[in-house]
Structure 1
Amino acid sequence: MKYKRKKLSIFLSAIIMICIIPLSSCSDIGSEPMSRTEFMLGTICTITIYDHESKTTLDEAFSRVKQIENKMSVNKSGTEVDNVADAAGKNFVKVSDDTFYVLEKGKYYSEQSSGVFDITIGPLVKLWGIGTDHARLPSQKEIDEKKSLVNYKNLLLDEKGKRAMLVKPGMSLDLGGIAKGYAADEVVKVLKKNGVEHAIVDLGGNILTINGDPDGKPWNIGIQNPFKARGTPIGTIGVTNKTVVTSGIYERYFEKNGKKYHHILNPFTGYPMDNDLASVTLVTDVSLNADAMTKNIFYLGLDKGAEYVKNISGLNAIFITKNKEVYVTEGLKNNFQLTDSSFKLVGKIK
């Protein structure tokens, strides 16, 4: 079996690094941007500040990410998420305010998507192991067994006591589809509290921008080519005070007998989702919300997914199909630029 892992994400393209950094140094701020990169939440996290020189601000921001990781990551043992799984079918478990908030939001979006996005998908995620060194194609019997454990309705939440319980033994949580978004939102709170007015937060592709660049222009964010290595854009968009989040079939996958199996699992079939889309990029205000919505919109496909986006105030999207067609929603019609001629901008979705 050939195994390959790719992190599909929105990224700061070479154009950004060439154009924005000189703008910082030419502005009234008079200093180079302050940036740090660390591996957290199972991904590469970079925070870049353009108007602040206090190292302690970056320390505090990454400390906040670490707090969230220690409570919610599926890549670490002894987390609150683990504790809830260990007590599945037995009793409620007290969790922190952070974890309870994410569980509440996760259950809300699970209900809102009718279970397409389901934070109790942990058993299926662990079974497939996509994105790890033990990725494999499970048997149908294994898939059916684990699939029977996935049901957000069997997650009980006690708001008063900040407690959570999984009803059936063997159930487990996976907050990978929402925790990064929450962490990005929290980092922005930390930066703003410390007086930062111009920054870009990139937590493994969950991008959040604070205002525009130091010269008052929108940040120029590259849109990842879902068929090539990270850092290869198909186009760019300009954003100010927005989050940009992508989900795609080439983000993490493995190959078996010439077929690729990506990490976006369908909780109803137990297999990776299969439709005409290669990736979906959402642009909105809150990273947690975008994180949670991408899977449902991806599942719906181009037509129904676009209809969903149109009905959510302040939400815009870029859809890239497997045959390299690009569709953008009305709110992005004036600031999306296609730069890769191998893709075709079919039209704006009204």
Structure 2
Amino acid sequence: MIFSSKNKKFKIIAISIVLAITLSACSKKVTKPVEPISSTEFLMGTVCTIKIYDKSSTKVLDSAFKRIREIEDKMSINKEASEVIDINNAAGEKPIKISDGTVEVLKEGLKFAGLTGGKMDITVGPLVKLWGIGTDAARVPSKGEIQEKKALINYKNLILDEKNKTAFLKNKGMIIDLGAIAKGYTADEVSKVLKDNGVEHAIINLGGNVFAMGKNITGTPWKIGIQDPFTQRGDIIGMIQVENKSIVTSGIYERYFEKDGKKYHHILSTSTGYPCDNSIAGVSIVSEKSIDGDALSTSVFSLGLEDGMKFINTMPGVEGIFITKDKQVYTTTGLKDKFKITNAEFTLKN
């Protein structure tokens, strides 16, 4: 993920999870579709949209977007200054004092790095910067460059002192990149802001990190469309019904560039130093906390279909939808009756 310092409103565009909200179901309390209050801004390098279906004021939306900007200001590595930039600049030299939020995200990042054996490693920054995927500087690095940057990636060399609220990278040249986890944390924080302001029914969409608060205003589950990983037009392959859940998708369609007829996507393998190359085209994680889904969507993409399915099936309260390059769809056990294919080009295998 590449955070951006831009802060301006955009029209709704196609995003990596397509929201399909059905509000026409029968209800004694609701006789017609409810028009939400909504706002969209470009933050954290993506289009962020919040829709509130309760009676509420725009001040609540303002508070929610203020929280997003606060997190971006602390955790981005693509602004002029941030706490994470300070940690990176002091790599190999000294610990840096950080805020509670940054402590929490680094702690979670280290936890998932340990759980996945480094498949999801928040010190992947040297590789991310080297490839530059999603920027005008995107290129295919030499094998020598890749090996040099790979040597800097090791989450065990990030020392987090929770008591004193400091973080220290042991080796000069190391770079923390929170792109695989920060949006999830942000979605969770935005949901807290909304709840604190009495909101019960809302959709938070941070460029594909979707958090469905409560139920649909009609009292039925939200219906969320899962993005077709082979298009960028907002097409979907199926629908999932959820309430109070996060849905996070990672896929080969999100950011990539082409060189000599080959596509290079942004999900990098910490083992090879190249974009992950396996049978998966897209993966969606359904969880109670968006920070979990964000970290796991990257992790299981790197693990591949079989190992990824096994891994998610060991995680309490977490489910997954895996789409392969041959348009086969696999789901973990808990989604058997909650996910339906709507696109005839895809086949549900389990």
TM-score by length of 2: 0.93
1:165-180 → structure 2 map (5 Å cutoff): 165-180=168-183
Aligned residues: 338
Which range moves more in the overlay, 183-192 or 68-77? 68-77
- Residues 8 and 252 in structure 1, CA contact (< 8 A), matched pair in contact too: no
1:113-192 → structure 2 map (5 Å cutoff): 113-192=116-195
Q: Using a 3 Å threshold, how does the CA distance of structure 1 residues 94 and 239 change in structure 2: closer, same or farther?
A: same
1:96 aligns with 2:106: no
Q: Which amino acid aligns with 1:299?
A: S
Other structure's SS at 1:37 match? strand
Cα deviation, residue 133, structure 1: 1.3
1:254 aligns with 2:254: no
In proportion to residue count, which structure has more helix?
1
Q: Which amino acid aligns with 1:46?
A: T
Task: Give the whole-Å Cα distance in 2 for the aligned partners of 1:58 and 1:67.
Answer: 14
Q: Which amino acid aligns with 1:282?
A: I
Task: Give the whole-Å Cα distance in 2 for the aligned partners of 1:7 and 1:109.
Answer: 29
Q: Which amino acid aligns with 2:122?
A: I
Cα deviation, residue 127, structure 1: 0.5
Task: Give the whole-Å Cα distance in 2 for the aligned partners of 1:158 and 1:298.
Answer: 30
1:51 aligns with 2:54: yes
- Residues 119 and 303 in structure 2, CA contact (< 8 A), matched pair in contact too: no
Aligned partner of 1:108 in structure 2 is 111
Cα deviation, residue 310, structure 1: 1.1
Q: Which amino acid aligns with 2:342?
A: T
Aligned partner of 2:19 in structure 1 is 12
1:238 aligns with 2:245: no
Q: Which amino acid aligns with 1:112?
A: L
Cα deviation, residue 192, structure 1: 0.3
Cα deviation, residue 77, structure 1: 2.2
Cα deviation, residue 304, structure 1: 1.4
Aligned partner of 1:317 in structure 2 is 320
Aligned mate of 1:39, from 31, 42, 45: 42
Map Cα deviations across residues 236-278 of structure 1 (whole Å, 9 max, x no partner). Answer: 1111000001111221110000011010001121101111110
- Residues 110 and 119 in structure 1, CA contact (< 8 A), matched pair in contact too: yes
Other structure's SS at 2:172 match? coil
Task: Give the whole-Å Cα distance in 2 for the aligned partners of 1:309 and 1:269.
Answer: 23
Q: Which amino acid aligns with 1:196?
A: V
Aligned partner of 2:79 in structure 1 is 76
Unaligned regions of 5+ residues in structure 1, if any?
1-5
Task: Give the whole-Å Cα distance in 1 for the aligned partners of 2:209 and 2:200.
Answer: 19
Q: Using a 3 Å threshold, how does the CA distance of structure 1 residues 165 and 230 change in structure 2: closer, same or farther?
A: farther
Q: Which amino acid aligns with 2:78?
A: N
Cα deviation, residue 52, structure 1: 2.6
Q: Using a 3 Å threshold, how does the CA distance of structure 1 residues 181 and 133 change in structure 2: closer, same or farther?
A: same
RMSD over aligned CA atoms reads: 1.9
Task: Give the whole-Å Cα distance in 2 for the aligned partners of 1:161 and 1:23.
Answer: 54
Cα deviation, residue 20, structure 1: 2.5
Cα deviation, residue 30, structure 1: 8.7
Task: Give the whole-Å Cα distance in 2 for the aligned partners of 1:123 and 1:22.
Answer: 50
Cα deviation, residue 307, structure 1: 0.9
Other structure's SS at 1:20 match? coil
Cα deviation, residue 21, structure 1: 7.6
Cα deviation, residue 151, structure 1: 0.6
Aligned partner of 1:3 in structure 2 is none
Higher relative contact order (CA 8 A, sep 6+): 1
TM-score by length of 1: 0.93
Runs (4+) of structure 1 exceeding 4 A deviation are: 21-24, 28-31
Aligned partner of 2:291 in structure 1 is 288
Q: Which amino acid aligns with 2:151?
A: S
Q: Which amino acid aligns with 2:269?
A: N
Task: Give the whole-Å Cα distance in 2 for the aligned partners of 1:328 and 1:268.
Answer: 26
